[in-house]
Amino acid sequence: MTDEVKAERPRTRGLLTNHNFLIIWAAQFVSRFGDSLAYMGFVFFILYRLNGSALAVGQMMLAASIPSLFLGPVAGVFVDRWPRRLVMIVSDVLRGILFLIAPFLTALWQIYLLVFAATIVSRFFAPARQALMPDIVHRDDLLQANSFSETTYQFLGVLAPAAGAALVAAVGYQLAFIGNAISFFVSAAAILFVRAHESGLKAGKTSVRDVVDGLKSGMAFIAKEPLVRYVAGAGFFIMLGAGSVNILFLPFFRDVLGWDIKQLGLAESVIAVGAIMGAMLAGILGRRLSSRTISFGSVAYVGVVIFLLGLNRSMFWAFVILLFIGLTNPLLSIPLVTALQKKVPAEMRGRVFSTFGSLTESAAVLSMAAGPSLAELVGVRAVMMGVGVYEMITGPIAWAFAGKLDFGDRPAVTPTAADPGAPAGQGKAG
């Protein structure tokens, strides 16, 4: 029996019987609820207590993105050397402590600083979770696991923003921050019960030279591996347009359409409903279409709906369009993350996922920085319509140039003794 077969034995088929996966899913389910509450608390605090502009909320989002520019790849080096489960637990505890401080904030700069610090910690958690997943889920179940996780996380996104907005309006934003802190502590406690053999870890102390060498080897792997290189580059150019939409949503809804905090919370919930639909579709379409077609097709599709949102002046149609915008992120991210999880060796996962996150975040930062300036010149509507056209063009181009890449859509088949030459399975259409 090969080492590969031995390594896969603990990763049983069937998600509902995989207790390690279910624990991590439940932990993130709770944390997702807390994050939604905290976001509405920040929005309420900035817009309605400090009388700040919608742009100030966008600047908060910018503060949440900047750490990825310089910390992402470095965090990946440590994720590949430290126990990933421990990294997730410590990250949750630290973020819980940070949000216990949040109710005592009194100024915008303090909010930006807290969000900045929380994001630094998150840059360790996210790649650790993504790197751990192939060690607890069978290779052929990865797409379904990512789809199932995204679906259930987004389900809370339906309830939490609207509920959080009503809660904040009724009793104050402080309670939302405390709720988020508790959610992180609950998540950390749950992950304590995960039991998994973590592959690819390099034990020992980590010196500055180790970090530099780890960065070099990670970059070298990305540069030489066609799929990883292409996915990272495509993600950068996609977010170069889409990032500005995140920062323009609030001025568009509050200043152009005249929505209040409850309507903003409802908008977040509608987007989450769309994300649930998108996550479910990713799992269903993954059985019929290639990851390439699902991911890059969704980019062209979201370009159309963003363009329509820029044209729209009706509250009803705005909510309908937001529903369809919500579909996009799962359809784009789930197939691409799954492809990377299958392709990247265990010892490289932390660095690759961190670098991938850094590239997309850097594009988002550039886009978020340019979007408000362009909006001042030509208006929010015009910028959103321009982003829509950009994504309508980017999606088909990304799809066309990815034609010869292997996204790992073929199921893994272990040859039997009776048929040692058994084929690895058939590819999917598209």
Question: What is the per-residue pLDDT for 249?
Answer: 79
| Best CA proximity match to 341, nearest among 35, 161, 136 | 136
Q: Which one-letter amino acid corresponds to residue 224?
A: K
| Best CA proximity match to 32, nearest among 121, 149, 189, 140 | 149
| Best CA proximity match to 261, nearest among 166, 348, 333, 346 | 166
Question: What is the per-residue pLDDT for 9?
Answer: 41
Question: What is the per-residue pLDDT for 1?
Answer: 38
Q: Judge whether 134 and 21 are in contact, CB under 8 Å.
A: no
Mean pLDDT by 10 residues, the chain (430 residues): 40 70 85 77 79 71 73 74 89 93 89 89 84 84 79 64 68 79 91 82 63 74 87 89 80 77 77 83 85 92 92 86 87 86 81 77 78 80 92 95 82 46 45
The arrangement of secondary structure in 12-192+208-401, i.e. its CATH architecture, is Up-down Bundle (1.20)
